[in-house]
Structure 1
Amino acid sequence: MKTITSVAIAALMLGLAACKPAADTKAAAAPAAAAVALIEKPKLSEEVEALPRLAGDSPAIVRINAELDRLDAAASADAAECARMGNEAGQGGGWSRWITRPMIGPAYVTLREHLDTYCGGASPSTSQTAITYDLSTGARVNWPALLPGLGLVQDAAEQGMPADYVYNVRSAQLEALYERKMIADEPPGDAEGRGCLEVWKPKPADELGQGFKIWADAEHGGVAIDADYAHVVQACAGTVYLTADELRAAGAPQALIDALTAAKAAGNWAPKEEEAAEPAA
């Protein structure tokens, strides 16, 4: 009996040892939650923040950093041109930019540019542009391919636009989803007061309609959608977020959903809101 028991115990230990690599393999397959290391760059001017660069020398990171170099060069040129136009109009000019980091790994990095500009004319302009990069390739994420269930179409390139311009995506499904979420999130009475219910009303299903900006967002653990409305109704724009279930329904790969979940849990975004100050004793 003693011999049989020893053999049984030995077999059990061997079985447990054999199972361990499988568990380790499964853990290795999950997306690492470590944030991507960013290299902060000096401001391009007093009012123009530079984009950060990614640390590392992999082909994907080299590709991303080369594009960030081009975008910073374009920003400097745009700021100079804005100042020239404003001065020619006798109104002065201003071009300011700051950068936020909605997601800094794993698997994806999103950088978002915020602009306040006045180059002469009737009124200043504000805009935001976000780019999500795939860290495995260094390419911008192809949202129509990544979310096939939404039937997204990317706007066609226009002559004269910068090579690195970020074009909107659009589809009837995306517009309906966005409007539904905006109405659901609106405090009672506010939407009618601003006339936004008219902007958000259902559109014919066969129209591509409104253009949208889209990016991966770690803080909300989802994909962010923002309407690129005309200036006259810009106040009705806002950001909504596709949840994991909505992403699955849109055909998103599980790897994207896992990366967003891991990024949210790890706090992989910046800047974060400052914690409220403790009340005085």
Structure 2
Amino acid sequence: MKTITSVAVAALLLGLAACNQGSTAKTDEDVASAAGAVNLVEKPRLSADIEALPRLSGDSPAIVRINAEFDRLDAAATASATECAEMAGDGPGGGWSRTITRPMTGPAYVTLRESLDVYCGGAYPSTSQTAITYDLSTGDRANWVALLPGLTLVQDQPEEGMPADYVYNVRSARLEALYERKMNAEATDAEWRDQCKDVWKPQPDAELGQGFRIWADAEHGGVAIDADYAHAVQACGGAVYLTADEMREAGAPAVLIDALAAARAAGNWAPKEDAEPAA
């Protein structure tokens, strides 16, 4: 097996930053236990087309909890691929592939992102990307409603028949306005911006508003936000990133802001554009 180790400087940077901050939602002991370098152990592929989730090295209750969820997610991926092939039968389709990237590998938080390409028959294949951030002090998924209280987020309610580990979107009028502002400001292609500006605009007649997905992203040193648009306008989507000041304005705890800064400084994400291919 192959082990990926985040450099230990992340722990030092987080520790120094924590010394200069006031109280946070976590105790000093929680932060200390979560601030060490994160070891991810690569697992064999589930099939030629399905990449397995890595596992976290260690036996703390939080790590055991996260790895147990990864076991469930891998089992669900295998079951979904089998069901897809059965649905396609002898017709076109039957393709189900998954790749995994690592937007943040500590300290304090770990984010893994799953990219799916699925075609089980019918008119069109589908693609999706889902990122999940885990709190290394508890083993829980990051609760963005609580971590960003200034955005007044509301999480979608569980639906009957959905997988137990499904990632539900969050919504709020403030989040819609923030996303529209940042997309307009960061769009470098004038034609694309003109085509998508009405998609980005909040829809006041919508009952709950647009759904979004959020994760911690070390490469950009901030919280990432992406709209979960319908297939017809999916091309207008794209991630935007909150700066440290924007995270503070949204009420984010110091431990999250400091962890993202430390992770960016330490290069705690993969893959990197200049990374050497795996042997």
Does the TM-score normalized on the shorter chain lie above 0.5?
yes
1:100 CA displacement:
0.3
The SS at the match of 2:89 is helix
AA aligned to 1:154 is Q
1:197 CA displacement:
1.2
Q: Find the aligned partners of 2:205 and 2:219 in 1 and give their Cα distance.
A: 32
Correspondence for 2:272:
272
Correspondence for 1:54:
56
What does residue range 20-169 of structure 1 map to in structure 2 within 5 Å? 27=16, 29=18, 34-87=36-89, 90-169=91-170
Contact 2:170–2:211 (8 Å) recurs in 1: yes
Q: Find the aligned partners of 2:193 and 2:38 in 1 and give their Cα distance.
A: 43
Q: Find the aligned partners of 1:252 and 1:29 in 2 and give their Cα distance.
A: 14
Contact 1:110–1:130 (8 Å) recurs in 2: yes
AA aligned to 1:156 is Q
Between stretches 175-184 and 79-88, larger displacement belongs to 79-88
What does residue range 132-281 of structure 1 map to in structure 2 within 5 Å? 132-191=133-192, 195-204=195-204, 208-274=208-274
Q: Find the aligned partners of 2:149 and 2:17 in 1 and give their Cα distance.
A: 28
Q: Find the aligned partners of 2:225 and 2:63 in 1 and give their Cα distance.
A: 26
> Deviation above 6 Å: which 4+ runs of structure 1?
none
AA aligned to 2:53 is L
Contact 1:102–1:112 (8 Å) recurs in 2: yes
The SS at the match of 2:43 is coil
1:188 CA displacement:
4.7
Contact 1:112–1:129 (8 Å) recurs in 2: yes
Contact 1:35–1:268 (8 Å) recurs in 2: no
1:123 CA displacement:
0.8
Q: In 2 relative to 1, CA 272–34 (structure 1 residues): closer, same or farther, beyond 3 Å?
A: farther
Contact 1:38–1:54 (8 Å) recurs in 2: yes
Q: Find the aligned partners of 2:93 and 2:249 in 1 and give their Cα distance.
A: 50
The SS at the match of 1:78 is helix
Q: Deviations over 1:176-204 (max 9, x none)?
A: 101111111112522356x2111112433
Q: Find the aligned partners of 2:209 and 2:85 in 1 and give their Cα distance.
A: 34
AA aligned to 2:185 is A
Contact 1:34–1:266 (8 Å) recurs in 2: no
The SS at the match of 1:271 is coil
Q: In 2 relative to 1, CA 45–192 (structure 1 residues): closer, same or farther, beyond 3 Å?
A: same
Correspondence for 1:4:
none
Contact 1:172–1:205 (8 Å) recurs in 2: no
AA aligned to 1:163 is A
Q: Scaled by the length of structure 1, what TM-score is found?
A: 0.84
AA aligned to 2:124 is S
Q: Deviations over 1:241-273 (max 9, x none)?
A: 011000000000111100000000000001111
Q: Find the aligned partners of 2:146 and 2:206 in 1 and give their Cα distance.
A: 20
The SS at the match of 2:232 is helix
Q: Find the aligned partners of 1:218 and 1:146 in 2 and give their Cα distance.
A: 17
The SS at the match of 1:145 is helix
Gaps of 5+ in 2: 1-14, 20-30
Q: Find the aligned partners of 2:206 and 2:146 in 1 and give their Cα distance.
A: 20
Q: In 2 relative to 1, CA 185–28 (structure 1 residues): closer, same or farther, beyond 3 Å?
A: closer
Contact 2:155–2:168 (8 Å) recurs in 1: yes
1:141 CA displacement:
0.6
The SS at the match of 2:224 is strand
Larger RCO (alpha carbons 8 Å, 6+ apart): 2
Tell me how large the CA RMSD over aligned residues is.
Answer: 2.0
